[in-house]
Amino acid sequence: MPRRPITAMVATALLVLTLGATTNAAVPTGSSALRDAVTVDGMAEHLAALQAIADANDDTRVDGTDGYEESVDYVAEQLEAAGYEVTIQPFSFEAFQTFDTVLERISPDPRVYVEGFTEDFVVSEFSGSGDVTAQIQAVDVVVPIGSNPPGTSSSGCEAADFNGFVAGRIALIQRGTCDFSVKAVNAEAADAAGVILFNEGQPDIPGDDRVGVINATLGTPGIVDIPVFDTTYANGEDLVLRSRSGPVVMHMATTTTFGTIDTANVIAETNVGRTDRVVLLGAHLDSVAEGPGINDNGSGVATVLEIAQAVAETIEDGTFAPRNQIRFAFWGGEEFGLLGAEHYVQDLPAKELKDIALNLNFDMVGSPNFVRFVYDGDGSATGAKGPSGSGTIEGVFNDYFASQGLATEPTAFDGRSDYGPFIAVGIPAGGLFTGAEDVKTPAQAAIYGGTAGVAYDPCYHSACDTIENVNKRVLDQMADAAAHATTAFAMTTSSVNGTSKASTKAMEANLAKMLYRGDHRQH
């Protein structure tokens, strides 16, 4: 799941079902065959395979690397072994990437800074490359911020700000009033060896973080050759104050690239079921460059791949005969801006696009400090609803979890995962999520366990997102819910969105009859 887009060129009706008390609610037996065939041991095997691939490829499975190509091969081989005809859909895009990034204070009081949006720093988009150890020099900063109103820092915005700047030093520049690119270009013209941009420090601008790590872009590839990093106001202020007392020596290093990345989606589908009412399950296959991506999104890949294998197994043994075709998609380019799903949607003929009844998206479903989030299809909790029918999908998930006595919370369609291109063209969508970099509240800890005040996934987009970072208990729960929803929509004789193919009322009645009949199964 992307934290922010990385530059690349390239319904509302809610399903209402009557249930008893949640701890005694009936399990939908119509999905038991598929749920029984989906095992946590099977998913663990997939996670281990993805971890082994990352281990053999510099701890990453990012697009354009051998780690990603081997991930594609693994998923394709598993699908083919299950009997599917597999399509590898190649595509290319232009993207900015960073490798081997370091920021540390050499003296005084040595400190290693942690890369990441929720940590200490990131590389500015379109930064140059370099390996620099040098003294820092503050450039026209406003520190401490005091009572200055927002936007008053013009640090680095004029060439004159660098009068007296010593060539070869690292320029310490504050956010404010002009583009980051202007600051970086001015610094390079003054013979700075590198730039550290720190946030402005104003805490009171709604919707605009002026305290944390900056989400900075320099706008154009190749605009500067020197390394440019973004950090928090607190880190910047600390460095400024230290530099006023004596020399502060920093080490900054990164290798950056901008160019064509060749990657691919992996697609397979059942050879039974109505092809004009396709149930599409998706998960992104790529990791970020910084780590192996086993929760983000090996957990989603393992879930969809295990369901695909279970579907093939249950069709073969006669315990499952889907009325509607089921399609499985493993997306590339998600961490660069949902590019695999976007390519798929744009490349699909209009008739085939119309035949997709819904998209079920699984992105990060094994977070260690989890909450069971369900996408808010009808927008009732978050105000951002999906296309007509998305509320029905939300209802199927919520009613399943209620039948298991498991709490859930809504999460918004905020555009951060591969459902985005589908809802953009009006296809109903839904899915599950167990949390990324946001922090668990005390109220959530009381309901779900875990630790309040800690991120749902403390290893989000980091090197520590390994197989040890996956909570297999919640992964099992989410996979069963995914298998249940797959059954529900594969077996329905009604349309999800209640438009041309059937009414929403008919869809609700059909699902209610089919899915809620009897036994109880608790994890």
Greatest mean pLDDT range, 139-153, 211-225, 241-255: 241-255
Cα gap 26→402, rounded to integer Å: 9
Which range (29-38, 408-417, 463-472, 492-501) has the least confidence? 492-501
Overall average pLDDT of the 219-227 stretch: 96
Assess contact for 362 and 478: CB atoms under 8 A: yes
Q: How confident is the model at residue 382 (pLDDT cuts 50, 70, 90)?
A: very high
Of the pLDDT bands very low, low, confident and very high (cuts 50, 70, 90), residue 502 is very low
The predicted-structure confidence for 9-19, as pLDDT tens digits, reads as follows 332 222 222 22
> 108: cis peptide before it, omega within 30°?
yes
Q: Helices 472-491 and 40-55 meet at what angle, rounded to 10? A: 120
Helix or strand (DSSP H, E) at 52: helix 40-55
Query: CA torsion angle for 192, 197, 202, 203 (degrees, to 10)?
Result: -160
What is 31-84+270-491's CATH topology?
Answer: Aminopeptidase (3.40.630)
Question: What's CA 349's distance to the chain center, in Å?
Answer: 27
CB atoms within 10 A of CB 110: 10
Domain with CATH 3.40.630.10 in the chain: 31-84+270-491
Of 115, 290, 334, 508, which is the active-site residue? 334
- State residue 205's pLDDT score: 58
What is the distance between the alpha carbons of residues 138 and 159, in angstroms, rounded to a whole number? 14
Mean pLDDT of the chain: 89
For residue 267, is pLDDT > 70? yes
Residue 281: both structure tokens together: 């399950």
CA dist., res. 239 & res. 105, Å (int)? 9
Q: What is the pLDDT of residue 41?
A: 98
How far is it, in rounded angstroms, from Cα 495 to Cα 285?
Answer: 29
What pTM value is reported for the model?
0.79
Q: Which residues contact 433 (CB under 8 A, 6 or more apart)?
A: 1, 363, 364, 365, 373, 374, 375, 411, 417
Q: How high is the pLDDT of residue 503? A: 39
Known catalytic residue at 306: no
Tell which CATH architecture fits domain 96-255. Answer: 3-Layer(bba) Sandwich (3.50)
